[in-house]
Amino acid sequence: MEMNRFTLNFNIYVGVMIRLFKVKEKQRELAENANGGAPTKKQSPGELRLHKALNLLAQEHLVLDPSVILMFYFVFLRVDISELNLPKSCAITFPNGKDNLMNFEVSIRPDEGYYFGGTFLFSFQVSPVYPHEAPKVKCKTKVYHPNIDLEGNVCLNILREDWKPVLNINTIIYGLYHLFTEPNYEDPLNHEAAAVLRDNPKMFESNVRRAMSGGYVGQTFFPRCV
């Protein structure tokens, strides 16, 4: 099993390297053509991330060898975290220290909508093969929300079937923020909350305020988060 996992990681690594070399070759070709007036193609975000990751590896004098596969993925994460561009209502912290980038927390304090004024904490557990797998994200704050269940599971499409390696941590955080400004009753985890939002938005707003203030909604108690 371990050998199969290693082989899979190595194949992914080789695929990434081949893609990068093709990109570099194309860039050289375009640069040469540019001297004759041909336009130079702008790099895509995915290509830029590849270059930045490899530049960091080069700075640390790491050879392009299977022994640095996991380091290669880790550098992708370092690039993404170093380039976070979050709204003022979101913050990232590292409870285990900044040396542990694989596990961190994000707090979101919506500045509009039903959840205005609340503070909601999410834990991120990043896969060793990020960005080929989405991080595991859970809400640590008990919240009355159609897209977050009482165990903290989050219904966000980019954490499931719509995840692609070109997406990043910044994209996920904005997606989580969007859940609070525009909760979606059509794709629920908390079906009761979704039904109230759909059928009676005023009651839903009242339930949210009661839950955030520290109180019961039905038979469920929600700790204060404002």
| Positions marked catalytic | 155
DSSP per position, 176-226: HHHHHHS--TTS-SSHHHHHHHHH-HHHHHHHHHHHHTSEEETTEEE----
CA Rg, the chain, in Å?
22
Q: Shortest CA distance to 198 belongs to which of 2, 190, 112?
A: 190
Token pair listed for 48:
């830029």
Count CB neighbours of 189 within 10 A: 17
DSSP state of 68: G
Residue showing tokens 């859970």 = 138
- Beta strands (DSSP E) in 48-161 are 90-93, 103-108, 120-125, 136-139
* CA distance linking residue 40 with residue 26, whole number of Å: 10
106, β-bridge pairs: 92, 122
